[in-house]
A = this chain, B = another copy of it.
Amino acid sequence: MPHIDVGNDAPGILGLMRFRPETADPLNALAEALLRAPGAPGSLSRGERELIAAYVSRGNDCTFCTNGHSELAAQQLDGGMSAVRRVLDDHDFSALSEKLAALLTVADLVRRGGREVTAEAVATARKAGATDVELHDTVLIAAAFCMYNRYVDGLATRLPDDPAGYRGNAAHVIERGYGG
């Protein structure tokens, strides 16, 4: 049972955002800047950034965010959901670029705690071609999902009745943006 009455039927973070629009706006703007804004040429694609979000959410055992961002990654990555599942379920990074694999490793360290990130993990990502901005954004995506995940589960929000809701919501975000 949810810990608070949000006064609407929307699942997960969507219900919280309708309950408290004052905080929904910056939360959506942050997701938009990190996950959807165009990056520099050759930098992480939208699908790759969503994969980092989904991977961190899975590590934090947040069902709503894992399912939602897995859909967002699958709909924007070559390989679709089976590529996402290989990373999340099997921790198999072999089909990914060396850079993305190294950044996922950094993201998982951030998830465990800010002080867990080692100079060695950063050096490995850098050697694989990661820039300062990509390292910055990977750390902040991982940190931000440590927030979103705790927000969704810390208030015990409900899951969608129909899992197809994740697909529809992902398609909406891809077209209109976070909060669009």
Q: For the complex, is A34 an interface residue (Cβ under 8 Å from B)?
A: yes
Q: Which residues of B lie under 8 Å from residue A156 when comparing CB positions?
A: 117, 119
Residue of B at shortest CB range from A16?
Answer: B136
- Residue from B16, B29, B133, B149 within 8 A of A20 (CB atoms): B133
Interface residues of A, dominant DSSP: helix
Q: Which residues of B lie under 8 Å from residue A148 when comparing CB positions?
A: 143
Q: A110-154, CB under 8 A of B: which get 1 and which 0?
A: 110111010100100000000011011101101110111111111
Q: Which residues of B lie under 8 Å from residue A146 when comparing CB positions?
A: 143, 146-147, 150
Count contacts on A: residues with CB < 8 A to the other chain: 51
CB A16 to nearest CB in B, in angstroms, measures 7
Taking a contact as CB atoms under 8 Å apart, the answer to whether B33 and A23 are in contact is yes
- In Å, the complex CA distance between A26 and B22 comes to 12
- In Å, the complex CA distance between A132 and B148 comes to 18
Taking a contact as CB atoms under 8 Å apart, the answer to whether A155 and B133 are in contact is no
Residue of B at shortest CB range from A20?
Answer: B136
Interface pairs A-B: 10 shortest CB-CB: A114-B153, A143-B150, A147-B147, A26-B29, A26-B30, A114-B150, A4-B132, A139-B154, A114-B154, A110-B154
